[in-house]
Structure 1
Amino acid sequence: MPTRIDASEARRWFAEDLRVSSPVLHNLAVIEAFAKVPRDQYLGDGPWRIHSRLQIGAVHTSPSTALHEIYHDVLVSVDEQRGLNSGLPSLWALAFDHLNMAPGQTVLQVGAGVGYFTAILAELTGSEGRVIAYEIDEELARRAQSNLAHYAHVEVISGDATQAVDLPNLDVVVAFAGVTHVPERWLSNLSDKGRMALPFTGEDQRGFMMLLERAGCAFPVRSLMPCGFYPCSGAILAAFEAGYWFPSGQNPL
């Protein structure tokens, strides 16, 4: 990609690359959302700290402050000392594709971060939908609230999503932090044919992205991909301690 490029062109190039690399095969609205949302406005001004795709944990500074530097399928650090990142676009493009979100739906996001992927969810649900985004870190929650103020149908809550109260009927639950079990209050509010994408991870923060689909009283699940995630506070206890539900009836790890 050339070094000088219009921001909208960079986003389109980025989105079309995700169409192939993720891949996105079912819901092309995902591609349009990535092409529309300005990643740079959520991550702040460059240069940015970018993770190598080939060396896990190796971080380098972007060569310049040009916007195209972050319109690639890379992790970008939000808080390097704590290991907090904005998220790998291809992973979330694939997960969103399988969640098959549509305008008018209600989504619970666990871990809004700075709000970039919340904005993608907002585009997928449309103004007639609703996105309830929890962020447990107060500073990140404030950043997300500011970044997302232009979306009237997005609510960013500073707090623990595992303790959420008065949740509405949910079409989609998507967690941006690793869990060892499904909190009952997320499951009990999931609509029939509702879906969840949850990173199931162990002590080493590695695991798999689980797709759960509700079908009446049944909850068929499958793995979408291997993944690694920062742990989700409130959803990393053993099942017998927490009293929460596992898809298989036991700890999947």
Structure 2
Amino acid sequence: MKDSFRQQGKRKQLVETIKEKGITDEKVLAAIGKIPRHLFMDSSFEDHAYQDKAFPIAADQTISQPFTVAFQTQLLAISPGEKVLEIGTGSGYQTAVLCELGAKVYSIERQQELYRKTKRFLNELGYRPKFLSFGDGYKGLPSYKDYDKIIVTAGAPFVPKPLLSQLKIGGKMVIPVGIENQTMYLFTRKSAKEFEKKEYGEFRFVPLLEDKN
């Protein structure tokens, strides 16, 4: 799997682009600068890999815009060793960013084709989540609950209560909510029943689908 000097140079330019858009977390910027995004895309899109745009991948899904990946990750303020649940493995690019930050990643994907392909591919690249599952993201992974952080990488029409219940007290969840366009929300669990909610503007994601099992 080739990662040329030209591609590395384009990654540096990408890092500068997302810095200009407001990403300040140096660890997140370093992860974006290290991960070969072109390898997560179909070779026909390789020339577009380091543009700050989303692009199609398998199963009618997309690899998220780098700024969006960085923005969600920065909101969560991930520390090494934290247990992070990712809803929507997709191409595995966000998963790789979380792994680079030292998170213990538990990821769930509802597209069987994508799940198989991405699980194999991440392993080939040397990114090994603690657990990668095929299943319904709305339900989360309750058997591993009490997550430090949860990241939802697809647009949800509502906030799934099972995900909130799987956060530890003090934990944070970032989720885009809406139908056509989504509003980014950050939830912080204050107690067993109390959550703080903050809003961070509009984004656009592929929809979070359910009942694919």
**TM-score tier (shorter):** 0.7 to 0.9
Task: Indicate the residue corresponding to 2:66 in structure 1.
Answer: 89
- Once residues 230 and 105 of structure 1 are traced to their aligned partners in structure 2, the CA distance between those partners, rounded to angstroms, is 27
- In the TM superposition, residue 107 of structure 1 has moved relative to its aligned partner by 0.7
SS at match of 1:148: helix
SS at match of 1:6: helix
Task: Indicate the residue corresponding to 2:201 in structure 1.
Answer: 225
Taking a change above 3 Å as real, the CA distance of residues 229 and 153 of structure 1, as seen in their structure-2 partners, is closer
Name the amino acid aligned to 1:172: K
Contact 1:114 1:147 in 2 (8 A): no
Percent identical among aligned pairs is 25
Structure 1 gap ranges (5+):
49-64, 236-253
Name the amino acid aligned to 1:156: L
Name the amino acid aligned to 2:119: Q
- Once residues 91 and 206 of structure 2 are traced to their aligned partners in structure 1, the CA distance between those partners, rounded to angstroms, is 15
Q: Confirm or deny that 1:162 pairs with 2:141.
A: no
1:100-111 superposed matches below 5 A: 100-111=77-88
Task: Indicate the residue corresponding to 1:210 in structure 2.
Answer: 185
Q: Confirm or deny that 1:19 pairs with 2:24.
A: no
Number of residue pairs the alignment of both structures matches:
204
- In the TM superposition, residue 14 of structure 1 has moved relative to its aligned partner by 1.1
TM-score, scaled relative to structure 1: 0.74
1:56-71 superposed matches below 5 A: 65-66=46-47, 69-71=48-50
TM-score, scaled relative to structure 2: 0.87
Task: Indicate the residue corresponding to 1:131 in structure 2.
Answer: 105
Contact 2:107 2:129 in 1 (8 A): no
When Rg is computed on C-alpha atoms for both structures, the one with the higher figure is: 1
- In the TM superposition, residue 175 of structure 1 has moved relative to its aligned partner by 0.8
Task: Indicate the residue corresponding to 1:53 in structure 2.
Answer: none
- Once residues 155 and 38 of structure 1 are traced to their aligned partners in structure 2, the CA distance between those partners, rounded to angstroms, is 22
- In the TM superposition, residue 29 of structure 1 has moved relative to its aligned partner by 0.6
SS at match of 1:162: coil
Taking a change above 3 Å as real, the CA distance of residues 44 and 24 of structure 1, as seen in their structure-2 partners, is same
Q: Point out the structure with the larger helix share.
A: 2
The higher relative CO (CA closer than 8 Å, separation ≥ 6) is in 2
Contact 1:14 1:72 in 2 (8 A): yes
- In the TM superposition, residue 224 of structure 1 has moved relative to its aligned partner by 1.0
Over the aligned positions, Cα root-mean-square deviation in angstroms equals: 2.0
- Once residues 97 and 133 of structure 2 are traced to their aligned partners in structure 1, the CA distance between those partners, rounded to angstroms, is 17
- Once residues 118 and 145 of structure 1 are traced to their aligned partners in structure 2, the CA distance between those partners, rounded to angstroms, is 10
Structure 2 gap ranges (5+):
none
- Once residues 209 and 165 of structure 1 are traced to their aligned partners in structure 2, the CA distance between those partners, rounded to angstroms, is 23
- Once residues 142 and 77 of structure 2 are traced to their aligned partners in structure 1, the CA distance between those partners, rounded to angstroms, is 26
Task: Indicate the residue corresponding to 1:246 in structure 2.
Answer: none
Task: Indicate the residue corresponding to 2:33 in structure 1.
Answer: 35
Contact 2:52 2:67 in 1 (8 A): yes
